[in-house]
């Protein structure tokens, strides 16, 4: 996230490496979402997240791959990018 804040300052980033700024509740929610745990859809909807850059093969990546509301637009061995179809 930190590089994205630097390289794309006009785009909001949900979480970056400055974890002390976010608080435990948000970081817990972020981790649960990244794992694809129950409630991941609610987090993405609540925060109006329409583009996701995620580690390839992560829990969230697998959930998004199976969800028709999301399209895989980029994929390599390290990272995948998904876009919400309704965005």
18-36 pLDDT tens trace: 566 656 777 888 789 888 9
| Cα 12 to Cα 19: distance, rounded to the nearest angstrom | 16
State the pLDDT at residue 14.
62
- Range from 6-10, 11-15, 62-66 that averages highest in pLDDT: 62-66
Count of domains in the chain?
Answer: 1
User: What is the span of the domain harbouring residue 64?
Assistant: 2-84
pLDDT tens string 63-82: 999 999 999 999 999 999 99
pTM for this predicted structure: 0.80
């Amino acid at each position: 996230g930190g590089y994205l804040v630097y390289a794309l300052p006009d785009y909001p980033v949900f979480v970056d490496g400055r974890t002390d700024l976010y608080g435990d509740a948000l970081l817990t929610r972020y981790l649960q979402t990244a794992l694809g745990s129950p409630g991941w859809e609610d987090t993405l909807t609540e925060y109006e997240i329409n583009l996701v850059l995620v580690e390839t093969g992560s829990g969230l990546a697998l959930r998004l791959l199976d969800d028709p509301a999301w399209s895989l637009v980029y994929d390599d061995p390290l990272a995948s990018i998904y876009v919400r179809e309704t965005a």
